[in-house]
Amino acid sequence: MTHTIEVNGIKLYAYHGCLTEEGKIGGNYIVDISLKTDFGAAAVSDQLNQTIDYVDLNSIVKEEMGIRSKLIEHVGQRIVNRIKSDIKEVISLKVKVTKICPPINGDVDNVAIIIEG
């Protein structure tokens, strides 16, 4: 059986962007994760060790977002790679990285990338 786990709205302050100022000033980001797995055993046993721990997902996101990238595409791919590498129970994965109020010479709420794999 396949189940979905989502961790949405992970709010972070990070230093991604092509502009030098973005590396100094930083900005607000939101990361959403959706993954497919089989947590049938955990649903029956009520044991955390039989499913994917949300704390581990949040930690991976925080660590990868803490490494400066010019592009959110790059940091998003690092998050995907790390989750797939560290958590073997993942069948498939979707990661969305949203940059709030990007400096793109316009009145834009946010920009986002989505990686599925």
Q: Are 30 and 9 in contact (CB under 8 A)?
A: yes
For the question of residue 62 being annotated catalytic, the response is: no
Residue 89 to residue 35: CA distance in whole angstroms: 10
Q: Which residues contact 41 (CB under 8 A, 6 or more apart)?
A: 47, 50, 51
Residue 39 to residue 89: CA distance in whole angstroms: 9
- Altogether, the residues listed in the chain come to a count of 117
Q: Which of 11, 24, 88, 99 is catalytic?
A: 99
**Residues belonging to the active site:** 99
